[in-house]
Homo-oligomer: A and B are copies of this chain.
Amino acid sequence: MTKEFGIGMIGYKFMGKAHSHAYRDLPMFFPQVARPVMRAICGRDAEGVAQAARQFGWESFETDWRKLLERDDIDLIDINAPSDAHKDIALAAAAAGKHVFCEKPLALTLADSREMLQAVEAAGVKHMVGFNYRFAPAVQLAKKLVEDGRLGQIYHFRAWFLQDWIVDPEFPLVWRLQKEIAGSGSHGDLGAHLIDLAHFLVGDMQEVIGMSETFIKERPVPSSMTGLSAKGSKDAPKGPVTVDDATLFLTRFANGALGSFEATRFAPGHRCTNSFEINGSKGSVKFDFERMNELQVYFTDDAEDVQGFRRVLATDPAHAYAEAWWPPGHTIGYEHTFIHETVELMQALAEDRQPVPNFHDGVKCQQVLEAVDLSIEQRRWVRIEEL
């Protein structure tokens, strides 16, 4: 008999839609996994959340997230509200004995994220953080090749997450450009994913040094907004952009590998280039999320006359999650990373173990983010353990 877990979710915009869909699709494509029951969705705007509940398939809705915590039919709280709300909800959820699945970034500060980790551990609940890119089958393949030693000793990790949605200086001042709500800009939004992938694929970092820039210092204040988009006008008053448009940093990993990271929202032509490359003593891999079904793989021990990067389409039965979907060559998309993430979440709940990545990973990511911030502020190398 398949286990079931009641879900209560806070937030119903971009991430809310992605998570809802993952819960909907899970039982169809992974019927052997514990079933999430979509009990209630929560948002402050009653009309908006009611409509979302109907559209996404939730049994009910709430306008006060504290109500979710009181419900016995809810086992797990899924937090994908704006980043500044994560901490309060997570602490309360843990105190209420609910499992917690929180979108990244875990919190606005390292201190907050540590408090959150402490809370879930003290409460003995399960916790997960939404680093969804780990769950692309091509990324899973990269992990497998590293783990199995097929790339040898890792020498170099380079990663770049490039977007271009705010290159236009008239693009309005949405919440993601305001430090008090978003915590940081491209660094926390895009860089955080790269950092987590680095932790996942290479391991811990020792020290970092970074630089950042806000190219457009003021933008029109929008009249309304939703998700990434917003309505504005050229005549609107302008307000200050308080987050970074681009952040770069270098790192040295504990295993001796070198690392380079670039996150920017000012790279025209790149809608969502979330890319990394790993060089090891026996081979290399390359990944680009805009072609997320593919992993480029190179082995130094291929026959001399046919050495070259292989374009592996990670849709074969040999690839993670692929058999649940379509025949080889029939690709999947962005939303599938969330479905696979939910597979891990539900399996962990069913098996009474911590899912991965969890709040430990969220804290580690936040630690690097802040170490980079500190390195920028103090213009010096910062050891991760300083924080």
Stretch at the interface among A61-69, A102-110, A289-297: A289-297
CB distance from A35 to the nearest CB of B (A): 11
Which residues of chain B come closer than 8 Å to A54, judged between CB atoms? 31
CA distance A381 to B311 in the complex (A): 39
Whether a CB of chain B sits under 8 angstroms from the CB of A28 is yes
Contact status of A290 and B379, CB under 8 A, knowing A28-B21, A250-B250: no
Are A268's CB and B284's CB within 8 A? yes
Are B141's CB and A18's CB within 8 A? no
Indicate the size class of the contact surface on chain A.
Answer: 35 or more
Whether a CB of chain B sits under 8 angstroms from the CB of A332 is yes
Contact status of A266 and B155, CB under 8 A, knowing A28-B55, A333-B333, A335-B326: yes
Stretch at the interface among A117-125, A197-205, A313-321, A350-358: A313-321
Residue of chain B at shortest CB distance from A297: B306
Are B316's CB and A271's CB within 8 A? yes
Q: How many protomers of this protein does the assembly include?
A: 4
Are B155's CB and A215's CB within 8 A? yes
In the complex, which of the residues B14, B27, B252, B328 contacts A211, with contact meaning CB atoms closer than 8 Å? Answer: B252
CA distance A236 to B361 in the complex (A): 46
CA distance A311 to B269 in the complex (A): 10
In the complex, which of the residues B144, B284, B332 contacts A267, with contact meaning CB atoms closer than 8 Å? Answer: B284
Which residues of chain B come closer than 8 Å to A20, judged between CB atoms? 28
Whether a CB of chain B sits under 8 angstroms from the CB of A4 is no
CB distance from A203 to the nearest CB of B (A): 16
State which residues 18-52 of A face B: CB under 8 Å. Answer: 18, 20-21, 24-25, 27-28, 31
Contact status of A313 and B271, CB under 8 A, knowing A215-B155, A305-B141: yes
Which residues of chain B come closer than 8 Å to A27, judged between CB atoms? 55
Which residues of chain B come closer than 8 Å to A262, judged between CB atoms? 156, 158, 260
Whether a CB of chain B sits under 8 angstroms from the CB of A101 is no
Whether a CB of chain B sits under 8 angstroms from the CB of A57 is yes
In the complex, besides A213-B256, A290-B313, 5 extra interface pairs with C-beta distance below 8 angstroms are A165-B327, A210-B250, A271-B316, A308-B311, A379-B380
| Shortest beta-carbon contacts, A-B, top 10 | A271-B329, A272-B329, A269-B298, A308-B310, A330-B334, A308-B312, A332-B333, A305-B318, A333-B333, A304-B318
Interface residue ranges, A against B (CB under 8 Å): 14, 17-18, 20-21, 24-25, 27-28, 31, 54-57, 141, 144-145, 155-156, 158, 160, 162-165, 167-169, 209-211, 213, 215, 227-228, 245-246, 248-250, 252, 256, 258, 260, 262, 264, 266-273, 277, 279-284, 289-293, 297-300, 302, 304-313, 315-319, 325-336, 379-381
